[in-house]
Amino acid sequence: MYNTLIRNIIRFVVLVIMQVLVFDNIRFGSYIHPYVYVLFVMLLPFNFTKARLLIDGFLIGMAVDIFSGTPGLNAAATVFMAFMRPYIIGLTTRQSDIEGKNFPTVTEMGLQWFAIYGILLLLLHNLVLFWLEAFSIKLFGLILLETLLSSIVSLLIILLIIYLFKPIKK
Amino acid sequence: MYNLFIFIKKYNAVILFILLEVLCIIMIVQSLPYQNRKMVNLSNNIAGGISRTTSNWYDYLHLKSENEALVEQNALLLSRLACDEAEADTAYYDDIFTYIPAHVINNSIYEMNNFILIDKGKVDGIEPEMGVICDKGVVGKVLNVSNHYSSVMSLLNSYSVVSCRFVDNQYVANVVWDNESYRFGIVKDIPSHLIINVGDTLVTSGFSNSFPADIMVGTIEENLSNNNEMFSTAKLKFSTNFSTLRHVYIVKNNYRAEIDSLCITR
């Protein structure tokens, strides 16, 4: 229990720092903006209640917002993503698949499942984020393009990070 | 009443979700008009210290190119000094504007509205609406001031307008951002009879109290106008490179209060 809490706190701090100091400064062309901190919400345990997911999502979104000077922007997108997470899990797994599993990680659920789960959540998150940032329907094509490209790049970076920090199996 | 509790218990996640989203959207909407960026001021104070530390690290990495830029500027200033001495009768001492040097400690160039954070604030005599320039040209205007930090609205902002003048023919126009690339802006309100050449230089007009006259803004990249409009527009390449901005100067107009009291501009 405490182990999970401490691990989550460390993950929270590390991901916020990574996002603010590294990934907010990286742009591959003007359409791709990697959002890596959402990995925190993806990796929360299966047994968390919906309310807890929402609050955790709100907290990390707000933390990133304070550093980027955009109050509410990332938080809104992350809360939406946390809200959709149970439905995405329900959509991509059968109940029997997640019995006895604790975390939706690559090690427990497999790379292929995680990639689908990750890209769906990233698409939802980025769509809300870029739409709120632009705040108009006029730019919808641009927003879709930005969402698609950013989600793919974010997923690749997230997988890289997972393999970098993956605990070595005994 | 009991039913209400059952309802709240059953749908607590949905209710919480709606509450949080409404809260977020209120925050976003409140921060939309750029004058009300109080939250930015708050995060200036919290994030300012951290940004400053990382900025110090980056400064080391850029020492060489910074040195070269400073040497270049030195040379330019020396040559201007020589000119002034040569024609002492026409030269006058400019005491209207004072320049306060500052470091850029946070900078965005890819958002819809971009802001720069600098490490000088109220204590150093910075006030909102002061102009910000660098050795290459105009950077933006001071927006919010906390004790030790200020946020600057850069030219790369949909609210930013700078009054400009063509060097060749003295015609005045306005420069805004094209909302796409950090290298290009749009020149609006050019009288349509004016022939626009690629490479024409634009400098500040000096009509606003924020900037002195004849600070470089950029050069014309492309003529965008068609013939049947009242005013022409053109694409402008900023002389300032916003992606490598490190040192800036805040322009302080020493007679600002006096000029404002006459209320002729605005």
Each residue's pLDDT expressed in tens, for chain A with a length of 170 residues:
568 888 889 999 999 999 988 888 777 777 788 999 999 999 998 888 888 899 999 999 999 988 887 788 899 999 999 999 999 998 888 877 777 788 888 888 888 999 999 999 999 999 999 888 876 666 788 889 889 999 999 999 999 998 888 765 54
For B24, which of A66, A79, A83 is closest by C-beta distance?
Answer: A79
Long-range Cβ contact pairs of B61-66 (< 8 A, separation 24 or more): B62/B246, B65/B244, B66/B246, B66/B247
ipTM of the complex: 0.79
User: Facing residues of B55 across strands?
Assistant: none
Q: Does A72 touch chain B (CB under 8 A)?
A: yes
Q: How many CB pairs under 8 A join A and B?
A: 77
Q: Does A58 touch chain B (CB under 8 A)?
A: yes
Residue with token string 């990639």? A115
Between helix A73-92 and helix B12-31 the angle, nearest 10°, is 150
Question: Which among B19, B28, B157 is the top mutation candidate for probing chain A, defined by the most A β-carbons within 10 Å of its own β-carbon?
Answer: B28
Q: In sequence order, which residues have a C-beta less than 8 Å from that of residue B265 and are 6 or more positions away?
A: B207, B208, B209, B259
**Torsion angles phi and psi, residue B40, rounded to 5:** -65, -40
- Cβ pair B16:A70 closer than 8 A: no
Residue B117 CA, chain-centre distance (Å), reads 10
Domain locations in chain B as residue ranges: 2-31, 33-266
Taking alpha carbons only, the member of A82, A155, A148, A91 closest to residue A118 is A155
* CA distances in angstroms from A157 to A37, A150, A167, listed in the order given: 11, 11, 18
- pLDDT tens-digit series, residues B125-142: 898 888 998 888 899 999
Taking alpha carbons only, the member of B123, B159, B162 closest to residue B143 is B159
Residue B59 has pLDDT above 80, yes or no: no
Long-range Cβ contact pairs of B74-83 (< 8 A, separation 24 or more): B76/B135
Domain A2-165: CATH architecture, name and number where available: Orthogonal Bundle (1.10)
Residue A20 CA, chain-centre distance (Å), reads 15
Taking alpha carbons only, the member of B81, B88, B93 closest to residue B254 is B93
Q: Does A21 touch chain B (CB under 8 A)?
A: yes
Interface of A with B in 111-130 (CB under 8 A): none
Residue with token string 């997972």? A162
How far is A60 from A8, CA to CA, in rounded Å? 11
- pLDDT tens-digit series, residues B88-99: 544 444 567 888
Taking alpha carbons only, the member of A70, A71, A81 closest to residue A37 is A81
Domain locations in chain A as residue ranges: 2-165
Q: CA of B158: which chain A residue's CA is closest?
A: A134
For A79, which of B17, B32, B44 is closest by C-beta distance?
Answer: B17
pTM score over 0.80: no
Q: Is the domain B33-266 a CATH 2.40.10.350 member? A: yes
Taking alpha carbons only, the member of B245, B159, B161 closest to residue B204 is B161
Average pLDDT over residues B23-44: 65
- Cβ pair A75:B20 closer than 8 A: yes
